[in-house]
Structure 1
């Protein structure tokens, strides 16, 4: 009996060791030369010229990850790895380590969803404290979407990530979206992935469309909608199938309802402002200013000519010449 218990204990220890090794092997390792810091829900790694995460950044990442997992229904206990690098060159060097594609210099952060890794240019966070926080939330949302739903359409990824980070398009892009909705010229939601380029900067209007539709669904339906849709996706359904199961609407019906609401937004005043601040508007203002200046000069010349016809111009009256003027100052 004692021998049996000893063997059983040995096997249990072996299973625990194998399980621990499997979990550890699932956690990606940082590039050589990076120093590691263990957090509560995430692991950190930073290059020697950056330093460990600040208390504020660590708190933001931990709390945001918790909130996103709760909102999107992820039960994952996987510990993401957050890499802090300096400059775009450092970001691309880290990407090469994980066999990722290089990104343009203006990209401040990248999420490798399958590996559960986020790489962040810490210099960008210092220069843009508000925008940097939104960027961190955006990239964390990509990781949690992968956890909760598996592979998803890219427009769903970008729409939900922008919505989570409260990243809104500029007013002119929003007005352009409304005008396209009025003209029934928007790219169908289900076809957005065919037109989205790899970089956000080249597709601000398409990203804005994805965000607008996702925000509309958040206003129209209860808060748990997207978590339930993602659960269907995790089980193998397509996103639009999960959407129909949970809302009773096809994606086409929902899209039409969203377009109808979008088309009703008032854009007239904004278009006038766009005209004023645009180069064409500036040119128009220059022309108008020139015309006004010419008109004022002509008016002034006429006034001077009328004044010259008076014998005394020092105290003119509405009747013409001031006949009481003696030519001396009256104090």
Structure 2
């Protein structure tokens, strides 16, 4: 029954009469939130958040209906998002279908704020509604992160050992990083977020609006970038790399040195402590030896003085 309902929801809406007995749907405006009883309050918060912030930086207000599916457990979530989704994903958007699959209450705290995650996924849908499937993956993820206000991703760059020693990948090279393990994916998300933030900063007055306007008319990011800012994608890539190195390179190096110092302290600390204790014992022994030598010398000097005194007295008595 759930599988039949899911197929209906993904392909053509979530009618109330197709729901399993323990599932329900909340509808408001262009949003429908499908959930099960245990997630009723969470589903309402998803609906309220989606309705209250339904605009996205630089884009026209979205109008397409959106279905948000709240998975009741991890097994259902994995079944709904499919085998191609990364294991660390806390939510998945299907822009072509205007659908989002979210975790229910079972989600872990490490997955982050679910309302921020929802905003991230809704930004994907809004971007594709406005521009179609043309955005490159790095821009798609970077824009969703930027629109969701995920500025905490910059912390990944501050503590990135690879940023200093392995260098910054190309923008195109970020795309593969989204699939190559959680750690590299987080670095790719952070760099993509930073790239879109730098694009927005090129036009402080309009942000991304001018770029998106040209993009909608020209059809590609390359043409839109040239018309909006007089830059090629290669020019922007070099600019973005310089900015990242300038802003985060020194901080990353300092953080790495701090970590290295901590590691060395942990590894070498016991050896240093043992050596210090050994030196302390040697110093104490040397002090003890000096004390005994001083006492012996004082005793010897006193004995010599007493001997001389007795010799003088003996001389007077005999005289």
Alignment partner, residue 117 of structure 1? 99
Aligned mates of 1:196, 1:128 — CA distance in 2 = 18
Alignment partner, residue 288 of structure 1? 272
Q: How does 1:265-284 map to 2 (within 5 A)?
A: 265=247, 266-267=250-251, 268-278=253-263, 282-284=266-268
Larger Rg: 2
Kept in 2: contact 1:72–1:148 (CA 8 A): no
**Residue of structure 2 aligned with 1:155, choices 138, 156, 159:** 138
Unaligned runs of 5+ in 2: 1-8, 300-319
Aligned mates of 1:38, 1:111 — CA distance in 2 = 19
**Residue of structure 1 aligned with 2:26, choices 28, 31, 37:** 37
The structure that is helix-richer by fraction is 2
Task: Return the offset for 1:104.
Answer: 5.3
Instruction: Answer yes or no: is 1:143 the counterpart of 2:128.
Output: no
Kept in 1: contact 2:30–2:65 (CA 8 A): yes
Kept in 2: contact 1:73–1:228 (CA 8 A): no
Aligned mates of 2:69, 2:173 — CA distance in 1 = 34
Kept in 2: contact 1:108–1:120 (CA 8 A): yes
Q: How does 1:248-259 map to 2 (within 5 A)?
A: 248-259=230-241
**Farther-moved stretch of structure 1 (149-158 vs 48-57):** 48-57
Kept in 2: contact 1:172–1:270 (CA 8 A): no
Deviations 1:141-179 (A, max 9, x none): 111111122111110011112222333336464344652
Measured on the aligned residues, the alpha-carbon RMSD in Å equals 3.4
Alignment partner, residue 314 of structure 2? none
Alignment partner, residue 202 of structure 2? 220
How many aligned residue pairs are there? 280
Task: Return the offset for 1:223.
Answer: 5.3
Aligned mates of 2:188, 2:118 — CA distance in 1 = 21
Aligned mates of 1:27, 1:76 — CA distance in 2 = 19
Instruction: Answer yes or no: is 1:297 the counterpart of 2:281.
Output: yes
Partner secondary structure for residue 208 of structure 1 = helix
Instruction: Answer yes or no: is 1:88 the counterpart of 2:101.
Output: no
Alignment partner, residue 36 of structure 2? 47
Aligned mates of 1:77, 1:147 — CA distance in 2 = 9
Partner secondary structure for residue 147 of structure 1 = helix
Aligned mates of 1:281, 1:27 — CA distance in 2 = 61
Task: Return the offset for 1:297.
Answer: 3.4
TM-score norm. by structure 1 comes to 0.70
Unaligned runs of 5+ in 1: 1-23, 312-319, 322-331
TM-score norm. by structure 2 comes to 0.73
Task: Return the offset for 1:254.
Answer: 2.0
Q: Could you list the runs of 4 or more consecutive aligned residues of structure 1 that deviate by over 6 angstroms after TM superposition?
A: none
